[in-house]
Chain A
Amino acid sequence: MVGTLYKSMMWVTAAAIFGALPTEGWSLEYRDGPLRLRLDLIGSAQVAYFDEENNDGHHTDDVYEWTIRGIAEYVFDNGILVGIRVEYDDDFDVTSDERADEGAERDELYAYVSTPWGRIEVGEQDGPADTLSLHAPVIGLGQVRGDFGRHQGTIALLSPTDTQDAFKVIYLSPPIKGLRGGISYGPKLDRNTNQSNPRRWTVQRDHVEVALQYQNQIGPVALGISGSYVSAESDPITEREDIDSWSVGSEMSWNEWTFGAAFVDRGDSNTRLGRDQTEWNYGVAWRKDDWGLALSGATSSRSDDRDNQLFGLGGYYQFLDRRVTLKADVVHYDEGLGSGFDRNGVVALTEIEFRL
């Protein structure tokens, strides 16, 4: 009942807004000299179909999501940029007729200062180990590290176990002969602390992320390599291991093609029983103007007898002045759960996204 109401409201609102807009040259952006204010309203409807062997036939799932993103920036006469960015989102799973989280929640909120000698960010957002790590290229719904994981299977790591959107202070260096780096520090990361059992909590302190990336041109190819590392101390009450994770990756672009691969060592990070997880990921993407396709794979192993094999194909197409995007993914997963048990299946999903 709530799901039907939610779905109806979303479609009526989207239709009303899109029907009232001119088809081109319109945006929720205000610019006046050095000041820029921008508001992005994004709504999406996703349908998934999945089929898992040994799991009772086919299933479908619908998820509706909206995001509000606001940016305010000011460019001073001396070329220094200051700004603030905030993002809220909410999603609703129709099949289970419930929200996937605690309702509308703040995804990111941070302030920043950019100069030619670097950028400092303070607030809740992804750290440099996430943003500077190179790996298999993913587009649209994210293929092996994408939305299929909302419905079934376990997503790939792609980069080191990061500190998500926990509060942190970040410094991003400018490129110096192709080399740039980032470092961040955050005092605390709390997740799932509303659970009664502290062993289900994620409580970490003093998290540090360090990342380096080198980019250069070799003949007709733009080549990049990266290395990143994350550390944090877990609260003993959770009985989980400290975060100690790293990755090395590479990406190569040639015309519309991008190739990428990475090795990730998660170690025992944030686990109780000792996981010693490693992963190889690899992929290729092709992007041109308003559309793109990507193919990626990931192979991970952990705890001697567990593994996860993922293979995903996906794409997107944008139209109506890029305000509407169609996305689709097909992901196959084959997960060894230890002691001879495994689960494997396919998730096919498609999404339409409206952006103002």
Chain B
Amino acid sequence: MFSKKVGHLAKQTALVFICSLIAVQGAHKAAAASTSSPWSNLTYEIGDSFIYDNGRVETFRAKSEDGLTWATRQGSEYLRPASFFLPLSAWQTNRQIGTVRIKGNTDIEVKSNFGSRFTAIRDIIDKETNKSRRSLQYWVCHALPETSIQVPAGEFETIPIQCDRYSPGSMKTLIRRTWYFSSDVGHYVQRDSISFLNGERSTIKLLASLPGAYANRARFDAILRNDKE
């Protein structure tokens, strides 16, 4: 008897869930609009650099219609949309050339409950064989309430952007990345990752940001060395 009641309840819950899904999609479209995100109109000077405690360095190189070109500490360049939480648009290594096309809504309104849901279509070409392979990533991102966080570079008011990557094969959430964006810095100051498959976690925190005029390899190395000490 109890089991049948639970069954009835489960069926009703499923119906409510499906209706909610449809309603959320509709409301999302209705809410699509207007206010631009604080990161959409950022301006960087060439050479502006952000140094993180895992050794990662992001150096601004150029702006184009396709996005922002950044360089790693080793000098490898990659293209990324102005919305820093989106996957890289293009990169190149010794072995591969990668390009990513984003389909879907990538606008996040900070004070809205509705996030963005998009597909990253990755085409990777093997330089040796010249063969390409395509893969998919599904993402959903939304802004969380503003929060104050402490990182080695200081204490900042941040807007956390939480992005869940889910599997095209099972719809299961695979990984969650949370980016803490600071308007004062003009970049993210912390990034957390957790895997829903195995619970593995990682966090990177901003050590320092350097204006282009003062950014060079020796300074990067000194900042990273000081952090280790």
Q: A33-B123, A231-B7 are in contact. Are A217 and B132 (CB under 8 A)?
A: no
Contact assessment for B171 and A173 in the assembled complex, using a CB-CB cutoff below 8 Å: yes
Chain A interface category by residue count: 35 or more
Q: Which residue of B lies closest to A208 (CB)?
A: B11
Judge whether A176 is part of the interface by a CB distance below 8 angstroms: yes
For A101, the chain B residues whose CB sits under 8 A away are none
Contact assessment for B10 and A246 in the assembled complex, using a CB-CB cutoff below 8 Å: yes
B148-206 interface (Cβ within 8 A of A): 164, 166, 168-173, 176, 194-201
Q: Size of chain B's interface in residues, with CB distance under 8 A? A: 48
Judge whether A36 is part of the interface by a CB distance below 8 angstroms: yes
Judge whether B103 is part of the interface by a CB distance below 8 angstroms: yes
Q: Which residue of A lies closest to B20 (CB)?
A: A176
For B194, the chain A residues whose CB sits under 8 A away are 217, 220, 222
Among B24, B117, B132, B169, which residue has its beta carbon within 8 angstroms of that of A116?
A: B117
CA distance A183 to B12 in the complex (A): 12
CA distance A227 to B170 in the complex (A): 17
Contact assessment for A116 and B199 in the assembled complex, using a CB-CB cutoff below 8 Å: no
Among A182, A227, A245, A257, which residue has its beta carbon within 8 angstroms of that of B199?
A: A257
CA distance A215 to B119 in the complex (A): 21
CA distance A231 to B14 in the complex (A): 13
CA distance A103 to B142 in the complex (A): 51
B107-141 interface (Cβ within 8 A of A): 117-119, 121, 123, 131-136, 138, 140
Q: A172-B171, A175-B140, A265-B6 are in contact. Are A75 and B14 (CB under 8 A)?
A: no
CA distance A255 to B198 in the complex (A): 6
Q: A175-B164, A244-B3, A256-B199 are in contact. Are A229 and B10 (CB under 8 A)?
A: yes
Contact assessment for B199 and A253 in the assembled complex, using a CB-CB cutoff below 8 Å: yes
B1-59 interface (Cβ within 8 A of A): 2-4, 6-7, 10-11, 13-14, 17-18, 20-21, 24-25
Q: A173-B171, A222-B199, A257-B199 are in contact. Are A79 and B136 (CB under 8 A)?
A: yes
Contact assessment for A174 and B132 in the assembled complex, using a CB-CB cutoff below 8 Å: no
CA distance A222 to B200 in the complex (A): 9
For B133, the chain A residues whose CB sits under 8 A away are 31-33, 36
CA distance A180 to B17 in the complex (A): 9
Q: How far is the CB of B93 from chain A (nearest CB, A)?
A: 17
Q: A77-B121, A181-B17, A210-B10 are in contact. Are A118 and B171 (CB under 8 A)?
A: yes
Q: Which residue of A lies closest to B200 (CB)?
A: A255
Contact assessment for B172 and A256 in the assembled complex, using a CB-CB cutoff below 8 Å: no
Q: How far is the CB of B51 from chain A (nearest CB, A)?
A: 25
Contact assessment for A178 and B173 in the assembled complex, using a CB-CB cutoff below 8 Å: yes
Which of B4, B17, B134 has most A Cβ within 10 Å? Answer: B134
Interface code A200-236, partner B: CB below 8 Å = 1, 0 otherwise?
A: 0000000010101001010011101001110100000
Can you list 6 A-B pairs with a CB-CB distance of less than 8 A?
Answer: A117-B117, A119-B171, A173-B21, A174-B138, A212-B14, A255-B199
